[in-house]
Structure 1
């Protein structure tokens, strides 16, 4: 997950940085640092990404059209 994907996912869900921090069990400062592009532990980025995925966000990797996010399809 890139910093811009983090911002896009937050906006898609209508979450502020405090909402994301609460859902990921990290501090709001950690979210701000992530979105500024500061280097964080991979495990920290993983827990933030997992919070988004639990909320229904899917991350789109670089595929020639740039990275992105979208809502995942509901599981059957």
Structure 2
């Protein structure tokens, strides 16, 4: 399978398993407010609030949020609260290399 297809498939998995509830729980675990997550992820406060409210956001926005939280050692699995990954720094690819990175909300 070509690298781009694997990346796309992998990103689809991340996009579908990182939920608005995960985002809220992860912020609370880290003691982060919306502004701090915005600074870390480069996603606007308004987009984070929309995402956590269950409203749609762009895929690259969701990836940026997941990446910034996983960089703090959190891991996300469907149906479970975020957990500490020990020495794991997450598996979400850094969205900065994506062609649509400039579209982060």
Same fold flag (TM > 0.5): yes
Q: What is the aligned partner in structure 1 of residue 27 from structure 2? A: 10
Aligned-residue Cα RMSD (Å) equals: 1.0
Q: TM-score, normalised by structure 1?
A: 0.87
CA distance in 2, matches of 1:23, 1:72: 19
Q: Deviations over 1:14-47 (max 9, x none)?
A: 1001110110011111110110011111111001
User: Larger helix proportion, structure 1 or 2?
Assistant: 2
Structure 2 counterpart of 1:56, from 67, 73, 78: 73
Q: For 1:1-76, what aligned pairs fall within 5 Å after superposition? A: 1-61=18-78, 66-75=79-88
Structure 1 runs (4+) deviating above 4 angstroms are: none
Q: Which has the larger radius of gyration?
A: 2
Instruction: Name structure 2 gaps, 5 residues minimum.
Output: 1-17, 89-105
Task: Report the structure, 1 or 2, having the larger strand content.
Answer: 1
How many angstroms does 1:13 deviate by? Answer: 0.5
The TM-score, its normalising length taken from structure 2, stands at 0.64
List alignment gaps of at least 5 residues for structure 1.
none
Q: Secondary structure of the equivalent of 2:76?
A: strand
Q: Deviations over 1:31-72 (max 9, x none)?
A: 1011001111111100110000111110012xxxx2321011
